[in-house]
Amino acid sequence: MRLILASVSPRRKELLKKAGFAFETFAPDTDEISEGLYFEKVALFNAIRKAEFVAGLFPDAMVIGADTVIESEGRILGKPCSLSNAADMLSSLSGKAHRVVSAVCVRNIEKSISCVFAELSTVYLRDFGADTIDRYLRLVNVLDKAGAYAVQEYGDMLVEKLDGSVENVIGLPTARLTESLNHLLSAVEHQVT
């Protein structure tokens, strides 16, 4: 069965490829919400919208929609709009823990399949100052990264400890997704038509 990742995120593509799946990508034309709901619900809402949009265009395909949200002290942290904003974000995260939730929706319209889940990780950042922030901003393009950092890019400069899946923090909880996809694809193969 055709598998489509409803994302053009290079990190999600890399993680899904590393998990061993052959897939295509398609950018969903949807607006993401970023406030007004509990942070986990924001991620779930966005993942479902992405999967539903692409599944509507390719009803015979198994479509994966995903969204990752960072929450710190009750605030959702999106992607920084400037390097100054990124420095402020990193400064506010320094020495603190924050939560990262990645939500996934797997959808196939033709077979009436829908699977939705969210995985939570907690990231503990070192207590760092302006020098570390400046150095990190010179090394990493943070403008396309929620929370202004990437655990997989010089993350050891900032991250002290991580509870949960590192793949989840990067943007796609591949262990749980692999388990879900294998189960769904097996069920489709054994479905009587």
Which residues are annotated as catalytic? 67
Query: Could you identify the residue written with the tokens 């797997």?
Result: 106
Query: Cα(110)–Cα(64) distance, rounded to whole angstroms?
Result: 15
Which tokens sit at 79?
Answer: 């992607």
Query: Could you identify the residue written with the tokens 């943070």?
Result: 142
Describe the crossing of helices 10-18 and 174-189 by its angle, rounded to 10 degrees: 60
Give the three-state DSSP class for 99.
strand
DSSP E strand boundaries for the chain: 3-5, 24-25, 62-72, 75-77, 97-108, 113-125, 159-163
